[in-house]
């Protein structure tokens, strides 16, 4: 089931997140990791050895900036104008390109293909995979890698889930995220034509804490 997204409404939410995020990382250096825990889990090797990448929902841009430092041609897409403005100022000199757009619109309108497309707690979590995954496959080069990470589903809570910003008072700012079991994510990737599929959960560094779901597949 596709949730009734209002992208003008969600843009305001991501702008608020971007303003908060940049207060904490404006002076930080580029870094690439898939989990929410510093120095924990796999790194960019999950993408293989791409010459070009697209990040869906680039946020602070630190991951894309890290890849740009390695000589990889990188494009980031984010719904928040604030995020795009800040990342362009902070990391644009490294050669990365940051675009303000809704990810489905961008994938439909773009004619460029990439060796890898990825999402780190980004658009792959907040976009209906039955719509997004075929669009991703169309923009991947043959043999290209699609990878995404996000929190695993809460047991028994699957499909689109509503998420308010900052508790339950104040302006009603919310977005939808999509949660499924590991097997369901793998089935979705296979249904959309991906091969060499691996979806797993990475345990948190501390027992009992929230882990990370990591999916990886290739365009056939």
pLDDT (tens digit per residue) in 188-218: 999 999 999 999 999 999 999 999 999 999 9
Distances (CA, A) of 133 to 4, 130, 137, 142, 217: 18, 6, 6, 15, 11
Q: How far is CA 48 from the centre of its chain?
A: 17
- Residues 145, 151, 156, 162, CA torsion sign: negative
Helix (H, G, I), strand (E, B) or coil at 27: coil
Please state the pTM of the whole predicted model. 0.89
Digits of tens for pLDDT over the chain (220 positions)? 566 655 555 555 555 555 556 565 555 789 999 999 999 999 999 999 999 999 999 988 999 999 999 999 999 999 888 889 989 999 999 999 999 999 999 999 999 999 999 999 999 999 999 999 999 999 999 999 999 999 999 999 999 887 776 666 667 767 788 999 999 999 999 999 999 999 999 999 999 999 999 999 999 8
Q: What is the CATH number of domain 7-26+43-219?
A: 3.40.50.150
CA quadruple 179, 130, 144, 91: dihedral sign: negative
């Amino acid at each position: 089931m596709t949730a009734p997204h209002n992208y003008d409404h969600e843009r305001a939410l991501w702008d608020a997140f971007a303003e908060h995020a940049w207060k904490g990382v404006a002076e930080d250096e580029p870094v690439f990791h898939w989990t929410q825990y510093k120095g924990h889990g796999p790194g960019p090797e999950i993408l293989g050895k791409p010459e070009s990448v697209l990040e869906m929902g680039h946020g602070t841009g630190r991951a894309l900036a890290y890849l740009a430092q390695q000589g990889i041609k990188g494009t980031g897409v984010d719904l928040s104008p604030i995020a795009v403005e800040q990342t362009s100022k902070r990391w644009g000199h490294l050669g990365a390109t940051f675009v303000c757009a809704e990810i489905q619109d961008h994938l439909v309108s773009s004619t460029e293909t990439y060796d890898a497309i990825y999402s780190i707690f980004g658009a792959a979590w907040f976009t209906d995979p039955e719509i997004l995954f075929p669009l991703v496959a169309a923009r991947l080069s043959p043999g290209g890698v699609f990878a995404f990470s996000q929190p695993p589903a809460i047991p028994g809570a699957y499909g689109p889930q509503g998420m308010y910003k900052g508790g339950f008072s104040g302006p009603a700012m919310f977005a939808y995220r999509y949660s499924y079991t590991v097997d369901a994510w793998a089935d979705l990737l296979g249904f959309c034509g991906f091969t060499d599929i691996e979806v797993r959960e990475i345990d948190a560094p501390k027992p009992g804490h929230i882990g990370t779901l990591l999916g990886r597949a290739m365009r056939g």
